[in-house]
């Protein structure tokens, strides 16, 4: 049975010194144009290599164009390259799988964010490939990973395309905009000429205001198009997500085919090797681990890919305990989100949380954020004002906007802020849910979105956010029923948080092998304030325009954060701690590794909130499946109790629902 054509362009990362001169014809001359001197090149599938990279890397690009008018059919050679690429990726994973002594094979996929041109995405993925193969000696030791850098059809903000944006306007609003501007200009001239004739001026003023208002409204639509947010989101959802789903489906299928070929070779009389192979993959406990690194809108792509793969076609998702397995061969392992452009409700237990069942399937989840992320706090929040169905300002913010509470210049506020509480309240062998209930450090009470300088308790925390929601629906509630029950355990407890607002470090470029001379704030000015104010945001806008700091992607410039993100992505949390506590004369102690991480974060101004399940599994060494199921059961039980509470029943009745309790 023939597979569906793969709608992507697929190339392989290759080091320049690994390519012979006679094989330079294999190099890509389109996507990789102008990269002749680059250390890492893009080559066609099947390119002979003198020496293979420890971690094979692939550049996968959706074939969808930025504009539908420029869409064209893929050439047959590109379709064949894509098919061979999927087979080669599957073969690398399968060869690792058949080596019984090696760890389970792992596939790590990085996905870029909004406002990203092809060349900038290509260069970032090249940097990752070079970092994990040449710069970092710890990552490639396992020899069980494959890396994919995936590009969906994003575009850069280019204000010189104003003419194109105006031309694309429908005739009526375009005409109204020009009539409004020219009419306002003419009326303004009349207004100036007749300023001494009071009556005429008063008559012209409302007409002038009307013309300006119409023109301004339509000009706002043009500006929204120019910032490409809505266009990028459309392409991410309708092209980026679906093309990545298809890529994973085909890799899954190729792995099943490889096992079927082995079965047929071992038993030539086998009549249904494909069925046997599919059954083998579903029953085996040793799966291909699938991890994601999603930046900005890449987090939106990743979470929706997982949602489709796990929630729609998997009947096990109906259960309250959805497994981590997806498809025939994959198991969700690690999710690393940096400044993710997904709803804040993703980590709040709620009926509106459509990502809950997919996010909790991962074995490890991490969130890197910054309070000074203007791309999310201003641009994304403003754009979502038009599209996101919320009635309050706070609900319009994104998950990448969350920060951890702090005070003025207290060093105890940095590092792993809940480390002492974890050591004191998490006794080995005690139920995890009880330990979280005993722990005074609740993650929802420490994560905040905004700060009001006029209030005594200025932090607008996620705990307050979840408590305030029903009050908008039932303002007449009595004092006894006004406070909503808030779950003790939520999806937020599965994440480990790194707030990099005050992160100060030297920069590091793996491409140029250069380390910065001076430590500086990479995402903000790192002034260690209780919260940023409007003046701070204004200064950050100026810094961004001058290129002094990247408020949205500075994580991938800092020496420490690059190391932490890439090592966690490829090695996992325990693997990362082992690289910190690497004394060959002593056995690895996870407590020592965690203490080193705490001190590094404290020194560099990073606040971290360690997930209770990470502490229980990676530090205390207990089983992840049992502890994860325990938390999921408690979350589902508490959510059910809230739904059946008197307050919720009364709220539903007030909204006209007939409530029947069985």
DSSP 135-196: I-SSGGGS--EEEEEEE-------GGGHHHHHHHS-HHHHHHHHHHHHHHHHHHHHHHHTTT
Distance CA 609, CA 441 (A): 9
pLDDT at 612 (0 to 100): 96
- For 37-85, the pLDDT digits (tens) are 899 999 999 999 999 999 999 999 999 988 888 878 888 989 999 999 9
Mean pLDDT score, 600-610:
96
Residue 272: which H helix or E strand, with range? none
pLDDT at 197 (0 to 100): 58
| 418 pLDDT tier (thresholds 50, 70, 90) | very high
| 133 pLDDT tier (thresholds 50, 70, 90) | very high
- For 177-207, the pLDDT digits (tens) are 888 888 777 777 766 666 555 666 666 678 7
Q: Cα dihedral sign for 367, 368, 372, 373?
A: negative
pLDDT at 483 (0 to 100): 43
- For 145-168, the pLDDT digits (tens) are 999 999 999 999 888 888 888 888
Flag whether pLDDT at 455 surpasses 60: yes
pLDDT at 576 (0 to 100): 97
Average predicted confidence (pLDDT) for the chain? 86
Q: Which residues contact 296 (CB under 8 A, 6 or more apart)?
A: 112, 113, 114, 338, 339, 340, 341, 375, 376, 400, 552, 553
Q: What is the DSSP string of 351-377?
A: TT-TTHHHHTT-SEEEEEE-TT-HIII
Asked if 359 contacts 411 with a C-beta cutoff of 8 angstroms, the reply is no
- For 72-130, the pLDDT digits (tens) are 888 898 999 999 999 999 999 999 999 877 889 999 999 999 999 999 999 999 999 99
Asked if 652 contacts 474 with a C-beta cutoff of 8 angstroms, the reply is no
| 437 pLDDT tier (thresholds 50, 70, 90) | confident
Neighbours of 472 (CB within 10 A): 9
pLDDT at 377 (0 to 100): 85
- For 313-361, the pLDDT digits (tens) are 455 555 556 678 888 999 999 999 999 998 887 777 555 565 677 778 8
Asked if 488 contacts 637 with a C-beta cutoff of 8 angstroms, the reply is no
Q: Which residues contact 116 (CB under 8 A, 6 or more apart)?
A: 151, 154, 156
| 472 pLDDT tier (thresholds 50, 70, 90) | very low
Flag whether pLDDT at 475 surpasses 90: no
135-139, 286-290, 324-328, range with the lowest pLDDT = 324-328
Distance CA 251, CA 290 (A): 12
Mean pLDDT score, 551-570:
97
pLDDT at 477 (0 to 100): 43
Asked if 280 contacts 259 with a C-beta cutoff of 8 angstroms, the reply is yes
Mean pLDDT score, 250-258:
96
| 511 pLDDT tier (thresholds 50, 70, 90) | very high
pLDDT at 540 (0 to 100): 95
pLDDT at 211 (0 to 100): 79
Both tokens of 69, joined, read: 């008018």
Q: Shortest CA distance to 324 belongs to which of 335, 337, 340? A: 335
The pLDDT > 90 percentage for the chain reads 53
Flag whether pLDDT at 583 surpasses 90: no
| 479 pLDDT tier (thresholds 50, 70, 90) | very low
Asked if 306 contacts 324 with a C-beta cutoff of 8 angstroms, the reply is no
Domain chopping of the chain, boundaries:
8-157+229-269+276-338, 159-226, 344-627+638-647
C-alpha separations of 640 from 319, 474, 634, 649 in Å: 15, 20, 10, 12
Asked if 460 contacts 450 with a C-beta cutoff of 8 angstroms, the reply is yes
pLDDT at 92 (0 to 100): 96
Alpha carbon distance, N-terminus to C-terminus of the chain: 50
- For 405-414, the pLDDT digits (tens) are 876 556 668 9
């Amino acid at each position: 049975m023939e597979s569906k054509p793969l709608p992507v362009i697929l190339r392989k990362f290759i080091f320049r010194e690994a390519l012979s001169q006679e094989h330079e014809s294999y190099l890509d001359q389109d996507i990789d144009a102008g990269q002749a001197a680059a250390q890492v090149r893009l080559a066609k599938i099947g390119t002979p290599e003198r020496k293979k990279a420890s971690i094979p890397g692939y550049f996968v690009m959706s074939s969808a164009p930025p504009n539908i008018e420029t869409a064209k059919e893929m050439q047959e050679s590109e379709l064949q390259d894509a098919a061979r690429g999927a087979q080669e990726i599957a073969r690398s994973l399968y060869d690792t799988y058949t080596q019984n002594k090696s760890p389970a094979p792992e596939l790590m996929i990085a996905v870029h964010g909004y406002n990203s041109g092809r060349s900038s995405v290509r260069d970032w993925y090249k940097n990752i490939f070079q970092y994990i193969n040449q710069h970092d000696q710890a990552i490639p030791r396992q020899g069980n990973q494959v890396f994919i850098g995936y590009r969906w059809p994003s575009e850069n903000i280019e204000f010189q395309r104003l003419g194109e944006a105006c031309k694309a306007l429908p005739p009526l609003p375009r005409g109204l905009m020009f009539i409004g501007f020219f009419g306002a200009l003419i009326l303004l001239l009349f207004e100036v000429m007749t300023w001494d004739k009071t009556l005429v001026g008063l008559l012209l003023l409302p007409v002038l205001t009307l013309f300006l208002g119409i023109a301004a409204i339509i000009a706002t639509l043009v500006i929204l198009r120019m910032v490409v947010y809505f266009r990028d989101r459309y392409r991410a959802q309708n092209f980026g997500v679906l093309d990545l789903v298809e890529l994973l489906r085909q890799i899954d299928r190729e792995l099943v085919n490889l096992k079927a070929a082995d079965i047929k070779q071992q038993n030539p009389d086998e009549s249904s090797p494909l069925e046997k192979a599919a059954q083998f993959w579903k029953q085996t406990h040793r799966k291909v681990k699938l991890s994601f690194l999603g930046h900005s809108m890449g987090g939106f792509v990743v979470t929706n890919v997982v949602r489709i793969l796990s929630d729609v076609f998997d009947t096990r998702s109906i259960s309250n305990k959805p497994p981590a397995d997806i498809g025939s061969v994959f198991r969700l392992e690690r999710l690393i989100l940096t400044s993710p452009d997904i709803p804040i409700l993703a980590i709040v237990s709620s009926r509106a949380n459509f990502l809950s069942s997919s996010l909790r399937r991962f074995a490890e989840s991490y969130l890197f954020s910054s309070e000074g992320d203007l791309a999310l706090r201003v641009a994304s929040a403003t754009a979502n004002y038009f599209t996101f169905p919320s009635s309050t300002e706070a609900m319009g913010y994104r998950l990448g906007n969350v920060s951890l509470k702090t005070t003025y210049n207290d060093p105890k506020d940095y590092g792993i802020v809940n480390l002492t509480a974890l050591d004191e309240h998490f006794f080995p062998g005690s139920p995890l849910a009880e330990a979280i209930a005993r722990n005074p450090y609740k993650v929802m009470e420490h994560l905040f979105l905004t700060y009001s300088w006029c209030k005594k308790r200025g932090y607008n925390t996620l705990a307050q956010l979840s408590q305030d929601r029903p009050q908008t629906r039932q303002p007449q509630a009595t004092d006894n029923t006004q406070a909503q029950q808030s779950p003790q355990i939520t999806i937020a407890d599965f994440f480990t948080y790194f707030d990099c607002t005050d992160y100060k470090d030297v920069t590091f470029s793996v491409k140029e092998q250069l380390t910065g001379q001076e430590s500086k704030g990479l995402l903000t000015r790192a002034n260690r304030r209780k919260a940023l104010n409007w003046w701070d945001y204004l200064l950050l806008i100026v810094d961004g325009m001058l290129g002094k700091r990247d408020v949205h992607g500075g994580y991938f410039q800092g020496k420490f954060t690059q190391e932490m993100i890439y090592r966690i992505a490829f090695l996992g949390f325990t693997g990362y701690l082992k690289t910190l506590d690497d004394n060959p004369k002593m056995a690895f102690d996870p407590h020592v590794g965690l203490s080193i991480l705490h001190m590094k974060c404290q020194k560099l101004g990073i606040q971290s909130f360690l997930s209770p399940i990470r502490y229980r599994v990676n530090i205390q060494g207990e089983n992840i499946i049992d502890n994860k199921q325990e938390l999921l059961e408690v979350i589902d039980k508490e959510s059910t109790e809230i739904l059946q509470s008197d307050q919720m029943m009364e709220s539903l009745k007030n909204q006209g629902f007939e409530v029947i309790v069985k």
